Amino acid sequence: MRCRANACIAMVGMTPVGAFLSTVSYARPPFITTRSNSLQASSPEDILKPSYEIEPLPIRIGHGFDIHRLAPIEEAGQPVVIGGVEIPHKDQKWTDAEGKYVEKGGIYETQLGVVAHSDGDVIYHSVVDAVFGALTLPDIGQVFQDSDPRWKGCDSSKFMEHAYEVMTGYGYKIGNIDVTLILERPKVASFKPAMKDNIVSLLHTSPGRVNIKARTHERVDSVGELRSLSCHVVLTLEKTDEVPVS
């Protein structure tokens, strides 16, 4: 599993990541009836504890989607990281749609990187979004905003760890996860087992509950031109017998 020590250390004077995440409580707050309380409930510390009850359904289903731009490594400033795995690759035939490096629309052979505020891990982001969605919570972009300097260059395993805490805090565990990764190049077949292992470890589940598929985009649109990569995740959450932490 790829390691990046202190990838999410907060800036001086700001709340450290661990302390920030630990401020969230998952007990259902009192029902909101006034406008002032409603506004208060939408503050960052309350964003993952809505006013309504998250009913203890036996099974919940979530869907997550993410897409990020690919660009020459010198422009992106960071490598291609998918499912917690850094993807080494030979120079790729990237379509220069804006004419920054070659004639507009021409092919520029280059090492690729992901353009993102964090590390741009489309699998991890999609899984987190699916967990939040299954629990009827705000999307990952609201929880980990790309305008927040705390998440600049952040290792997205931190987001996965937090999603696990949220999920278990509401009394759920992973039922199963089905990942569809969509990118033209680089090829990732040999890296899928490591991606799967990372997800299993971070979400404390078993290999028989996690599946990763990858496909190209048949040279169509930005994904087919190697200018982006995307991911869909569908997952189920199962209710546990454990009492949620209040």
pLDDT at 5 over 60: no
Better pLDDT: 42 or 2: 2
Cβ-proximal residues to 19 (8 Å cutoff; 6+ apart), any chain: none
- Judge whether 132 and 169 are in contact, CB under 8 Å: no
Counts for the chain of helices (H) and strands (E), in that order: 8, 9
Which pTM was predicted?
Answer: 0.81
Predicted confidence (pLDDT) per residue in 96-112, tens digit: 998 999 999 999 999 99
- What share of the chain has pLDDT > 90, as a percent? 60
- Judge whether 235 and 134 are in contact, CB under 8 Å: yes
C-alpha distances out from residue 222 to 12, 71, 154, 163, Å: 38, 11, 25, 30
Indicate the SS3 state at residue 117.
coil
Please give the DSSP secondary-structure letter assigned to residue 193. Answer: H
Predicted confidence (pLDDT) per residue in 72-91, tens digit: 999 998 999 999 999 999 99
Q: Give the containing element (helix H, strand E) for 124.
A: helix 122-134
Q: What mean pLDDT do residues 173-178 have?
A: 98
pLDDT at 222 over 60: yes
Average model confidence (pLDDT) across the chain: 82
Predicted confidence (pLDDT) per residue in 134-165, tens digit: 999 988 778 777 777 676 767 889 999 999 99
